[in-house]
Structure 1
Amino acid sequence: MPGLREPSHWLVLIIVLVLVFGAARLPMIAKNIGQSMKIFRKEMKDATAPDPNNGDAPDDTNAK
């Protein structure tokens, strides 16, 4: 399945987005998507980090 590699594909996509959402709402939508991605990345980083208050931290008592 071909991706959006051709400039004509991008042009058609932009025209459809402007027709569907209107030119005034597109910057607001882009800002909201950016904020959502920032929150998502932060939550994923927090979820993968061990929580020292929860006992998830590696235990070094058996190290010699």
Structure 2
Amino acid sequence: MDIKSTMAGTVLSIEIQLEDKVEENQIVLKLESMKMEIPIESTGNGVVKEIMVQVGDFVNEGDTLLKLKV
């Protein structure tokens, strides 16, 4: 399962690591957009298999941020 960006912004922090178990609605990272901090939540339960971004990266709406194995 892919977790995608809900808006364009800069990756402010990554709250999870590879192989972490995450639950639906858990905050996995935070974006900064227009000087606001935007939490990005998991859309389901799973284990983090790949993190596609780094802190400081700019992402667009719909970009894949990380991949979960369900």
TM-score of the superposition, structure 1-length normalised? 0.17
Query: More helix per residue: 1 or 2?
Result: 1
Which structure carries more relative contact order (alpha carbon 8 Å, separation 6+)?
Answer: 2
Q: Which has the larger radius of gyration?
A: 1
Query: More strand per residue: 1 or 2?
Result: 2
TM-score of the superposition, structure 2-length normalised? 0.16
